[in-house]
Amino acid sequence: MPNKGSCGFSDALSLPNRIVMAPMTRVRAAEAGLATPSMATYYAQRASAGLIVTEGVQPSLIGQSNPGTPGLHTDAQAESWRQVTDAVHANGGRLFAQLMHGGRVSHPTTTGHQPVGPSAVPATGDVFTPTGPQPAPLPRALSTAEVPEHASSYADAARRAIEAGFDGVELHGANGYLISQFLSSNANLRTDVYGGSIANRIRFAVEATAATVDAVGGARTGIRFSPGGGIWGVEENDTPELYEALLTELVPLDLAYVHVEATTHDDVLLGLRKAWPGTLIVNPAFPMGPRQTDREAADRWLELGADLISFGRAFIANPDLVERLRLGLPIAAHEESTWYGGGDAGYLTYPSYQHT
């Protein structure tokens, strides 16, 4: 797959291969949401990817979902990311920050605030807190006047990201977080301009994306979706129509890319490929599902029309994943117990392939 040649990613950035490192929460930030030297090493080790998308980065304090995650809403946080972007660029890589507002998927013990969402409907399941998993709390429904502030938080964080040396940003519109909640037909029960019809439910996603494009430019802005994924209890009763309408609104913004997870039927995803004329990244694996993305799945989606393929879990234990795929080398197994939190073990300790 890496040998298909250079992929023209945007006017501002050309990628050397079609392999994207997908965003993965690793919960290793320092106090106050600061990036660390270990994070710089972790991402630099994987700089041979055509593009790296970081773990979810909160654009505001109230937008923080999990404890131990990094932010981009203070000057100190932005400055802490400079060591990461410098390290990745020194190794020849390209790095986008994923901007993730958790919305209702949060907890007061994590942020000091009651979580917010489009409606007062809690997420399904337990959320992570500093003292362990806790039932998802009841969020406070945002007033109509408050919604633009949360849309603009993505743009504010994007400006900090570019100042910190990132090549661009990806809005996290997937996996049941705030943008996904507004798109939903069961998490969003609003009756104002942000709820009800498809045109209203896509409004927040469009406004957040447009604000980010205004801040840093379309060539530096991507967005990720998980159509029909059902993650954190989010449902969409009209997935094909919803996302086709959303993509139609996003086309004029001339984004760097749209990044979709294979969370629905192939025919729906192929319909979205037709609706989106720009660069499309596909992650063939269902989030947290039993099978991670492999070479076979990647090649299949390239044949179906994807421009780039994102790999998540395979990058954890294989910092040299691009080389392994290029040469057909074995893909090392990762240790699930080290996914979240902890020190450098299971984070920086996976070696490149040892040739004999």
Q: Alpha-carbon distance 6 to 141, whole Å? A: 46
- Candidate list 177, 194, 257, 347, residue with the active-site label: 177
What confidence tens digit (pLDDT) does each residue in 209-268 have? 999 999 999 999 999 999 999 999 999 999 999 999 999 999 999 999 999 999 999 999
Q: What is the pLDDT of residue 8?
A: 41
Contact of 314 with 293, CB cutoff 8 Å: yes
**Distances, alpha carbon 323 to alpha carbons 1, 46, 329, 354, in Å:** 10, 11, 8, 12
The predicted structure's pLDDT at residue 4: 43
Q: Which of 183, 194, 191 is nearest to 242 (CA)?
A: 183
Predicted pLDDT at 342: 82
* DSSP-derived secondary structure letter, 30: B
Kindly state the percentage of the chain with pLDDT values over 70.
Answer: 96
Q: How many residues does the chain have?
A: 356
Q: Which region, left, alpha or beta, applies to residue 232 given φ > 0 means left and ψ of -120 to 50 means alpha?
A: left
Tens-digit pLDDT profile for residues 53-110? 999 999 999 999 999 999 999 999 999 999 999 999 999 999 999 999 999 999 999 9
User: Would residue 177 show up in a list of annotated catalytic residues for this protein?
Assistant: yes
Q: How far is Cα 118 from Cα 129, in angstroms, rounded to an integer?
A: 22
Query: Within 10 A of 5 (CB to CB), how many other CB atoms are there?
Result: 9
What is the C-alpha to C-alpha distance for residues 148 and 145, in angstroms, rounded to an integer?
A: 7
pLDDT in tens, 18-54: 999 999 999 999 999 999 999 999 999 999 999 999 9
Residues 256-313: tens digit of each pLDDT: 999 999 999 999 999 999 999 999 999 998 776 667 888 999 999 999 999 999 999 9
DSSP state of 222: E
Q: How far is CA 59 from CA 65, 207, 322, in A?
A: 11, 15, 30
All domains in the chain, ordered by first residue: 2-338 (3.20.20.70)
DSSP bridge pairs for 171: 99, 223
* Residue 94 CB-density burial (10 A; 0-12 exposed, 13-18 middle, 19+ buried): buried
Instruction: State pLDDT tens for residues 148-206.
Output: 999 999 999 999 999 999 999 999 999 999 999 999 999 999 999 999 999 999 999 99
* pLDDT at residue 42 in the model: 98
Token digits of residue 126 = 């337990």
Burial class (CB in 10 A: 0-12, 13-18, 19+), 104: buried
d(CA 180, CA 205) in angstroms, rounded, equals 8
Q: What is the pLDDT of residue 6?
A: 42
